[in-house]
Every structure is written in C-alpha cells, then in structure tokens.
C-alpha cells in the first residue's frame, strides 16, 4: 500500500474512533518588515457570480501589464478576507474546518501599480501586506513553479501555505486532509474574483516545495507551501480559447 492509500486509511474517522484531539489555536504571525496598508476591496463590481463561474478558465498567457492596488486588495479579500466577527473569532469569505484558518497567503508582486516587486505576506485580519523581500518576483515565482514560463508575465502569484499545528491541535493527522480542502476553497475564491475583474488566473500545483518555502521564508515543517495561483491581464489569444 502506498503512502497515499495509507494516509487516507489512517486519517479516516470511524464510529469507534472519531479521533477528536484537544482544542487549541495558534495566532497568525506578525512578521517583521515594512507594512503596507491595502486599499479597501472594490465590492461594487457589477460582474455576477454566475458570469464568473461561466467565464473562469485557466489562463496561461498574460500581457505583463500591471494590476491596480484595488484589484490586488479585492482578490486578497475575496480569497479569505474577514466578513464578520463573533467575539474574538473573525469569519472569512472561505469556509475553514473548525474555523481554525490554517492557510496563510503570500504574494509575489510582479506588476502592481505603485508597489515594489517582491515577496509580501498578507495579514488577513489587518488587510495589509508585510514586505518580506524585494527583487525579481516574476522570475522567482516562475522558477519555484517548475519553470512554467507563463507565470513570468502574470501580475501577481499567490502562494498558499499552511501553519499545520493550527489545525492539528484539533484534528491530529486528519488535519492534513482539511488544510488542502481549505486551500482549494480559497484558491477558487481568488480565481472567481480575478475573472469578475476581467483578469485571468491559473492554479499551480506543480511546484518545488523547498524552493517555494525558501522564497517565502518559511521552514516547510511548521509552515509549508500547499498551492499557488497566478493572476494577470490575459493576452488576447487566451481570451479566445
């Protein structure tokens, strides 16, 4: 039996072993680095959810044009922005198993108006970016994703990581199922928001884990890469396909 089959078996809930772990929560990190407050998301866009569902396609050809900071802010908010609070709990656009929110968002800023290219961490609760590094983020994101060339012409690439312990506290090994499901919800929200804004997106699972973790400055154990989403202005031919 391969590791995938064993994982699926050993993380199954059964009536005699529902597998509930202890409760706990680890707060989101507050990393060092210059903080950049984002504009409010633009929630007045008239594109409907139904149109976005119908029009979303994986786009692999971008013009390299920059997106605006409002577009960036709207995509980040759509992915897993805060929509309501109950006491100390902040609920988000995307569901999360046990409302534990283990998935973190990093942005490779490749071409965003008036924002220095580089790697940024998105602080969800504060809706701000924290700069981790500056430099050629387009090349860095491309290399980290098995050199998939089209990524270099996108405007941003989102990196989704998980802080595994945040979910393991409660769900033990089964947490690994849930963090990937959480990431799927979040990435789809980002893709639909991009479509609604007239942008194109492509989900990226083919990535070098160690290179992504090094690029983001995470250790790959406590926090590690799950998934990426690249977004930009679609080139004319990609709109037609």
Among 203, 208, 214, 220, binds ligand FMN (CB under 6 A): 203
Among 74, 96, 148, 229, binds ligand FMN (CB under 6 A): 148
| Residue 204 is a binding residue for ligand FMN (CB under 6 A) | yes
Residue closer to ligand FMN by CB (options 105, 148) is 148
CA distance 157 to 79: 13
Which tokens belong to 51?
Answer: 């149109």
Which tokens belong to 180?
Answer: 């990937």
| Residue 194 is a binding residue for ligand FMN (CB under 6 A) | no
**Nearest-approach distance from CB 202 to ligand FMN, in angstroms:** 5
Distances (CA, A) of 80 to 101, 119, 124, 137, 148: 9, 19, 7, 23, 26
Residue closer to ligand FMN by CB (options 29, 205) is 205
Q: How many C-alpha atoms does 114 have within 13 Å on its Cβ side?
A: 8
3-state DSSP assignment of residue 105: strand
| Residue 205 is a binding residue for ligand FMN (CB under 6 A) | yes
**Nearest-approach distance from CB 160 to ligand FMN, in angstroms:** 11
Residue closer to ligand FMN by CB (options 8, 58) is 58
Residue closer to ligand FMN by CB (options 129, 192) is 192
- Estimate the crossing angle of helix 175-196 against helix 164-171, to 10 degrees: 130
Residues in the chain: 241
Which positions from 48 through 87 interact with ligand FMN, judged by CB under 6 A? 57-58, 60
CA 90 to chain centre: 18
| Residue 45 is a binding residue for ligand FMN (CB under 6 A) | no
């Amino acid at each position: 039996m391969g590791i995938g089959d064993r994982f699926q078996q050993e993380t199954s809930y059964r009536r005699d072993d529902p597998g509930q772990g202890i409760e706990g929560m680890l707060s989101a990190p507050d990393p060092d680095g210059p903080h950049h407050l984002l504009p409010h998301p633009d929630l007045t866009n008239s594109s409907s959810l139904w149109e976005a569902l119908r029009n979303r396609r994986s786009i692999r050809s971008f013009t390299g044009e920059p997106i605006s900071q409002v577009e960036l802010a709207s995509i980040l908010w759509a992915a897993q922005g805060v929509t309501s609070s109950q006491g100390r709990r902040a609920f988000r656009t995307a569901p999360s198993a046990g409302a534990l929110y283990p998935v973190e968002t990093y942005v490779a800023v490749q071409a965003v108006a008036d924002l220095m290219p580089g790697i940024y961490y998105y602080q969800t609760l504060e809706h701000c970016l924290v700069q981790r590094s500056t430099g050629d983020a387009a090349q860095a994101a491309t290399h980290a994703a098995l050199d998939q060339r089209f990524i270099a012409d996108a405007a941003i690439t989102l990196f989704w990581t998980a802080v595994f312990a945040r979910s393991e506290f409660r769900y033990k090994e089964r947490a690994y199922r849930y963090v990937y499901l959480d990431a799927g919800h979040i990435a789809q929200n980002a893709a639909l928001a991009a479509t609604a804004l007239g942008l194109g997106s492509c989900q990226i699972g083919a990535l070098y884990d160690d290179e992504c973790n090094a690029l983001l400055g995470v250790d790959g154990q406590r926090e590690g890469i799950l998934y990426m989403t690249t977004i930009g202005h679609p080139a004319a031919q990609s709109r037609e396909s």
